Amino acid sequence: MNAVPEQPDQPADIDAALLLRWLDTATSVIEREAAHLTELDSPIGDADHGNNMRRGFLAARAALQQEPPDTPGGVLVGVGRQLISTVGGASGPLYGTLLRRTGKALGDAPAATAAELRDALKAGVDALAQLGGAVPEDKTMVDALVPALDAFTAALDAGEGTADALSATARAAGEGAAATIPLRARKGRASYLGDRSIGHQDPGATSSALLLTALADTAREASSS
Ligand code: ADP
Ligand code: MG
**37: three-class secondary structure by DSSP:** helix
Ligand 1, atom nearest to 52 Cα:
7
Ligand nearest to the CA of 34: 1
- Residue-averaged pLDDT of the chain: 95
Mean pLDDT of 6-33: 91
Question: Going by CA atoms, what residue is nearest to atom 11 of ligand 1?
Answer: 204
CA–CA separation, 114 vs 137, rounded Å? 27
Domains detected in the chain:
14-224 (1.25.40.340)
Beta carbon of 133 within 6 Å of any ligand 1 atom: yes
Return the bridge partners of 15, or none. 111
Q: Per-residue pLDDT tens for 133-171? A: 999 999 999 999 999 999 999 999 999 999 999 999 999
Question: Going by CA atoms, what residue is nearest to atom 5 of ligand 1?
Answer: 49
pLDDT band at 3; cut points 50, 70, 90: low
Ligand nearest to the CA of 83: 1
* pLDDT score at 8: 53
Whether the pLDDT of residue 34 is over 60: the answer is: yes
Beta carbon of 89 within 6 Å of any ligand 1 atom: yes
Beta carbon of 45 within 6 Å of any ligand 1 atom: yes
- CA 21 to centroid of ligand 1, rounded, Å: 26
Ligand 1, atom nearest to 44 Cα:
14
Contacts of 27 (CB under 8 A, 6+ apart): 57, 58, 60, 61
Q: Per-residue pLDDT tens for 76-93? A: 999 999 999 999 899 999
Q: Per-residue pLDDT tens for 176-193? A: 999 999 999 999 999 999
Are 162 and 11 a contacting pair, CB within 8 Å? yes
Q: What are the phi and psi torsion angles at 57 (to 5°)? A: -75, -35
CB within 5 A of ion ligand 2: which residues? 41, 45-46, 48-49, 89
Closest CA to 173 of 197, 224, 209: 209
